């Protein structure tokens, strides 16, 4: 064998080893999941739901990855149009994401840049809202599933609007340690209410399998429930377009449909940002239980693109109503 072909062979082997290593780490980071025990039994309290004329939900996608594959992820916002004033659920990344993470130590920066950073908007949220004829100035509220930077960052692009957050989540977001890890960004937190002045409180009113709830418009159309685990004050949001067309937006309580369909824990990528891993796993089991009890309810994980595609069959920037 000539020296050239020997080198070529070595190069080929090296390339194959690199591909294998990349595949294995991709699998460990994104796909390997552990089965979880079932949730402890819990009563279900079915709400009465009316069809409200004028109520609609629109998919505002500001970022996506691997969108041609079933495991592709998404980020952004859901706009809820309501006769009493519109609501945005989560806001995705800030369009200034790269500037915002610049001051972090290299390891933190690298993690933020190559995980959440993949979902940075190409088109800022207000411009997307304009495309569905929504004036961002007229929004009544923004509700955040939790305070992490890839859910709150879009506030930096929006005009000042009241942000609905619980006291627990405000305390978490203002914790210097949480900010030092890059989970919450100081500039985003300045857009939140100050701790001590929470804008979201729960009533001892059971709702589905939850013991507490907050009915935002007092008409049963948008009902928020506590979902702490991923962060202490994480919430889930039921949007009831009609008795048969409902979704439950669960933020990062599960990373994708597999979580509640197969009752498996999170991928390593998302687990890394769980504040309380045991509690976060219990929430996955509870969502799996809810899915079994209410198979017609669409559960939307914030980043689970395949779930969005089912609820919004016409894709991003489309709206769905109860009619």
> Can you say whether residue 38 is alpha, beta or left, with left for phi > 0 and alpha for psi between -120 and 50 degrees?
beta
Count the alpha carbons within 13 Å of 235 in the hemisphere toward its beta carbon. Answer: 27
Nearer to Zn ion, 134 or 150 (CB): 150
Interface segment toward Zn ion; rule CB under 5 A; list 13-21, 187-195, 214-222, 246-254: 246-254
State in angstroms the smallest separation of the CB of 284 from Zn ion.
15
State in angstroms the smallest separation of the CB of 252 from Zn ion.
4
How far apart CA 323 and CA 320 sit, in angstroms, is 8
State in angstroms the smallest separation of the CB of 231 from Zn ion.
10
State in angstroms the smallest separation of the CB of 292 from Zn ion.
25
Say how many residues touch Zn ion, by CB under 5 A. Answer: 2
Q: Is 256 in the site for Zn ion (CB under 5 A)?
A: no
Report yes or no: 42 and 209 within 8 Å, Cβ to Cβ.
Answer: yes
Q: Is 150 in the site for Zn ion (CB under 5 A)?
A: yes
Q: Is 252 in the site for Zn ion (CB under 5 A)?
A: yes
**Site residues (CB under 5 A) for Zn ion, limited to 260-319:** none
Sheet holding 235-240, edge to edge: 214-215, 222-226, 235-240, 246-249, 298-300
State in angstroms the smallest separation of the CB of 267 from Zn ion.
12
Interface segment toward Zn ion; rule CB under 5 A; list 19-27, 104-112, 147-155, 164-172: 147-155
Report yes or no: 182 and 149 within 8 Å, Cβ to Cβ.
Answer: yes
Burial letters for 184-208: b for 16+ Cβ neighbours within 10 Å, e otherwise? bbebbbebbeebeebbbebeeebbb
Residues found near Zn ion in the complex (CB under 5 A): 150, 252
């Amino acid at each position: 064998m000539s020296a050239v072909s020997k080198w070529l062979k070595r190069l080929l082997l090296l390339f194959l080893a690199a591909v294998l290593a990349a595949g294995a780490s991709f699998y460990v980071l994104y796909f390997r999941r552990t089965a979880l025990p079932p949730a402890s039994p819990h009563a279900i309290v079915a709400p009465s739901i009316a069809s409200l004329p004028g109520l609609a939900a629109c998919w505002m996608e500001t970022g996506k990855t691997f969108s041609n594959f079933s495991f592709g992820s998404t980020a952004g916002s859901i706009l809820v149009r309501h006769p009493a004033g519109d609501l945005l659920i989560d806001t995705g990344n800030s369009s200034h994401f790269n500037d915002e993470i610049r001051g972090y130590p290299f390891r933190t920066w690298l993690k933020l840049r190559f995980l959440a950073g993949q979902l940075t908007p190409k088109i800022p949220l207000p411009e997307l809202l304009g495309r569905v004829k929504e004036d961002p100035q007229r929004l009544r509220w923004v509700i955040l599933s939790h305070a992490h930077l890839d859910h709150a960052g879009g506030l930096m692009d929006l005009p000042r609007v009241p942000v609905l957050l619980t006291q627990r989540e405000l305390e978490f977001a203002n914790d210097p340690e949480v900010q030092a890890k890059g989970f919450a960004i100081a500039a985003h937190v300045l857009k939140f209410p100050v701790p001590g002045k929470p804008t979201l409180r729960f009533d001892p009113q059971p709702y589905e399998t939850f013991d507490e709830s907050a009915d935002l418009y007092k008409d049963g159309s948008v009902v928020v429930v506590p979902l702490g685990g991923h962060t202490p004050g994480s919430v889930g949001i039921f949007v009831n377009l009609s008795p048969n067309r409902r979704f439950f937006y669960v933020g990062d309580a599960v990373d994708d449909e597999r979580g509640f369909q197969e009752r498996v824990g999170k991928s390593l990528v998302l687990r890394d940002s769980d504040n309380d891993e045991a509690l976060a796993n219990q929430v996955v089991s509870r969502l799996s239980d809810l899915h079994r009890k209410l198979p017609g309810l669409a559960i939307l994980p914030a980043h689970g693109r395949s779930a969005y595609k089912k609820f919004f069959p016409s894709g991003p920037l489309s709206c769905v109503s109860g009619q």
